[in-house]
Amino acid sequence: MNYNELIQLYFERATAMQSYWNLYVIIVGGLLAFSSMRKHPAAITTAVVSLLFVLFAYKNLDAMHDTTAQRFAVLDAIKLYDATTAPVAALKQVRDLVEPTLTPATWRSVKATHITSDILTIAALCAMELRRRRLRQDQELRHDFTLFHLTSTRHRRSLEVPPRCPGLSAQTVPRQPARFRADASLIGRGADRPCLQG
């Protein structure tokens, strides 16, 4: 291989590395969007999605490891290239311009970035699931409180006895059982309360 082919191979491996990162970002964004749109808690679904993401992240990181090794191998070949047929002055000028810019990320930095992103993604999925569960519990509590309030209000109103209308005789107003009678001073004789008219 000549020097130009080595340079092309290096940038081809760099493009492959960028493709793996693009795929990773798309998958993470899709998972977070899917989890944020869900309204009801589902622990099993969250666990399955997290497991599938871990498997994808493992294979993606393994592909990045191979690509990083290939990039450094090509870079070493570029630096050790011996030009026996090309003009020495022209090749030295090209190498002085190109080789300082060939600085691929080390495997340690790639691995650290990938694993950190994996952990943060799984933590975000779990946090969204816990948030949905808390919202569901709050809604159930509010529903139970509202139902209890309505039931107690209806029960109190059913026990109240409307006052008798002025001018009506005792015969026109049916007597209530003793357990439904209430003190007139406590019930009041407001004009807004209905009265019994036989």
pLDDT tens for the chain, 198 residues long, are 787 888 899 999 999 999 999 999 999 999 999 888 888 888 888 899 999 999 999 999 999 999 999 999 998 888 887 766 556 666 777 777 777 878 888 999 999 999 999 999 999 999 998 988 888 777 777 777 777 667 777 666 666 655 555 554 545 545 555 544 444 444 444 444 554 444
Q: Are 89 and 165 in the same domain?
A: no
User: What does the pLDDT read at residue 190?
Assistant: 47
Q: Are 29 and 75 in the same domain?
A: yes
**CA-closest candidate to residue 67, choices 17, 31, 9:** 17
Q: Are 140 and 58 in the same domain?
A: yes
**For 38-106, where are the alpha helices, taking DSSP H only?**
43-79, 88-98
Domain encompassing residue 176:
161-198
Q: Are 102 and 142 in the same domain?
A: yes
User: What does the pLDDT read at residue 61?
Assistant: 95
Q: Are 121 and 104 in the same domain?
A: yes
- Count of beta carbons in the 10 Å neighbourhood of residue 132: 19
Q: Are 92 and 20 in the same domain?
A: yes
**CA-closest candidate to residue 86, choices 14, 168, 193, 5:** 5
Spatial contact of 20 and 67, defined as CB atoms under 8 Å apart: yes
Q: Are 28 and 121 in the same domain?
A: yes
Q: Please, what is the angle between helix 43-79 and helix 3-37, to 10°? A: 170
Q: Are 196 and 173 in the same domain?
A: yes
Q: Are 51 and 90 in the same domain?
A: yes
CATH number of residue 75's parent domain: 1.20.58
Q: In total, how many domains does the chain have? A: 2
User: What does the pLDDT read at residue 65?
Assistant: 94
User: What does the pLDDT read at residue 68?
Assistant: 93
